[in-house]
Structure 1
Amino acid sequence: MDHLISSEDAATVLNISSSTLAKMRLSGKSPRYIKLGRRVAYRPSDLEAWVEAQSFASTSEYSEKGPANGN
């Protein structure tokens, strides 16, 4: 089982602010996360998979798949 990292640490890994990551969770565009009571945590493998899914070879591929859509 992966260890879990905090929302703040996940934002640092993704090089975005914690508030941006929180907004992405609300809109369904964030990496998969785990809710433990009030705490939000991330698996490093979920962050890696999400980053990989944001990879595009061209601008036309981006427009076909769409921006960070959480899929």
Structure 2
Amino acid sequence: MAAKLLTTPEVAEQIRVPEATLRYWRHMGLGPRSAKLGRRVVYREDDVLAWLDAKFEGDAA
């Protein structure tokens, strides 16, 4: 089964941060894993969930 891909606006809404914050985190290497497909940045839903789980487990990143 293919991973569900999310756009920057979708991830920002899901984790309740402004899109600009998510873009900044991506630039600094602090946010969930992402990939650039053409001009669009996408996130695998599983990576976003894993990143959130790490935050709740006390990951400092």
Same fold (TM over 0.5): yes
Runs of 4+ in 1 over 4 A off after TM superposition: none
What is the TM-score with the length of structure 1 in the denominator?
A: 0.77
Q: Which residue of the partner structure matches residue 15 of structure 2?
A: 14
Deviation at 1:46, TM superposition (A): 0.5
SS of equivalent residue, structure 1 residue 41? strand
Gaps (5+ residues) in structure 2? none
Q: Which residue of the partner structure matches residue 51 of structure 1?
A: 52
Q: Counterparts of 1:28 and 1:38 in 2: how far apart (Å)?
A: 19
Identity, % of aligned positions: 33
1:1-71 aligned within 5 A: 1-56=2-57, 62=58, 65-66=59-60, 69=61
Gaps (5+ residues) in structure 1? 57-61
Higher strand fraction: Structure 1 or Structure 2? Answer: 2
* 1:29-66 CA-partner distances (Å, limit 9, x unpaired): 0100111011101111011000000014xxxxx5xx52
